[in-house]
Structure 1
Amino acid sequence: MARYTGAACRRCRRENIKLYLKGDRCYSDKCSFERRAVAPGQHGQSRFKKVSDYCVQLREKQKVKNIYGMLEGQFRNYFHKADLQKGITGENLLVMLERRLDNTIFRLGFASSRKQARQLVRHNHVLVNDKKVNIPSFLVSVDDVISIKEKSKTNSYLVESMEAVARRGIPSWLELDKNAFKATVKALPNRDEITMPIQEQLIVELYSK
């Protein structure tokens, strides 16, 4: 499947916000966004730039796509599914994205970034209810038990990520047993727990045109 292979830090600079795409590096002085918080390209430092409503909506959609590491087709499919559900479409969309297995692994601290979490899932390190699941887009449900394979618990990247988990914190809808590398989904994600500055209504307006 096609994936963006360019510099991750360009995405943060383009959206003018830290997207935390490179794990621990984003918390250090090496973060490119901290050193050069301007849009990429020769016109990145332009001060006065007229922005249309469509541009604002598009950038919001691109920002959320980049945060969760999605392709356009995938993201659009999630929106259509969210639109068919009861409730507020924008909130339904964010809840579905939070329920993705790769995002859940990242939230639990088993990986330092969603990209690394996706690799853990793809490489068969993750179990859901004691069954191997290697699909990053798998949606977790209430009472699901997520764990790391016994042979994978000594993985150096996994151990380092678990040591740094206290810095991010664990959302209340997840319950982590750090010593056993196991977690339980206590409830579905709540919109209030998604702390990234996301204006989902702009995405709804964009796709409603």
Structure 2
Amino acid sequence: MSRYRGPKLRITRRLGKLPGLTQKTSKKTARPGQHGKTLGDGKKKTTEYGLRLEEKQKLKFNYGITESQLYHYIKEARRRKGVTGLILLQLLEMRLDTICFSLGFAPTIAAARQIVNHGHITVNNKVVDIPSFQCQINDVIGVKAKSTSKNIIENNIKTINFIEPPTHLILDKSKLEGTVKNYCDRNELLLDLNELLVIEYYSRR
């Protein structure tokens, strides 16, 4: 499946708030589709499969990843020691585009992916243009020493909705640099998600 490029508010009406996808909110309250109003406001699918599917879709749309990418992260999380659901979220949060979003370099993860693709972001003083790049603890995420790159990031930081980045990241606004100090804290995630249902969704694969 290719990356989703359709209407974003339609997705948030179905799945709820997805900060990585869009900061906008829809005026409509019913779920999308011809049966949205008949189901009632906010009513979700009642089957267990339907609930698991929606949680999985939340991850896909929020982080802007494909089905094959998500399955790759699931397999990697299973391979590592620890709680699989937490490790999955940590892997996604350590992506370069997600970290740029968390630092306030971009208003959404989709926008962060674009600035990474265009070569505006550096990791340990080296330009990295791969959004899925896995950052490590103590990595320094900076901005390319170019006026256009700095202007883009400075404008985004000024207009960002979030006051401070999460505690596992340290932002130096004067240098436009962020440092990864630790893995993310589950309680600080902006996405409302039950990751156990995602693991259960892939349990038969």
Q: Identify whether the pair has TM-score above 0.5, normalized to the shorter chain.
A: yes
Residue from 43, 50, 54 that aligns with 1:59: 54
**1:42 corresponding residue in structure 2:** 34
CA contact (8 A) 2:123 2:141 kept: yes
Shift of 1:179: 1.5
**2:14 corresponding residue in structure 1:** 14
Task: Confirm whether residue 153 of structure 1 aligns to residue 150 of structure 2.
Answer: yes
Residue from 178, 200, 205 that aligns with 1:205: 200
Question: Percent identical across equivalent pairs?
Answer: 42
Letter in 2 for 1:181: L
Shift of 1:50: 5.8
CA distance in 1, matches of 2:45, 2:17: 23
CA contact (8 A) 2:45 2:51 kept: no
TM-score, normalized by length of structure 1?
Answer: 0.89
Residue-by-residue CA offset, 1:113-171 (whole Å, 9 max, x unaligned): 1010000000000000001111100111111011001211022xx23320134634210
Letter in 1 for 2:4: Y
CA contact (8 A) 1:13 1:39 kept: yes
Moved more, 181-190 or 43-52: 43-52
Q: Aligned runs of 1:96-111 on 2, under 5 Å?
A: 96-111=91-106
Q: Can you give the 5+ residue segments of structure 2 that lack an aligned partner in the other structure? A: none
Question: RMSD between aligned alpha carbons?
Answer: 1.6
CA contact (8 A) 1:108 1:165 kept: no
TM-score, normalized by length of structure 2?
Answer: 0.91
Moved more, 192-201 or 54-63: 192-201
SS at 2:36 equivalent: coil
CA distance in 2, matches of 1:169, 1:57: 32
CA distance in 2, matches of 1:97, 1:73: 14
SS at 1:106 equivalent: helix
Runs of 4+ in 1 over 4 A off after TM superposition: none
Residue-by-residue CA offset, 1:24-69 (whole Å, 9 max, x unaligned): xx2xxxx32xx10221111111236762101111111001111111
Q: Can you give the 5+ residue segments of structure 1 that lack an aligned partner in the other structure? A: none
SS at 1:90 equivalent: helix
Moved more, 159-168 or 132-141: 159-168
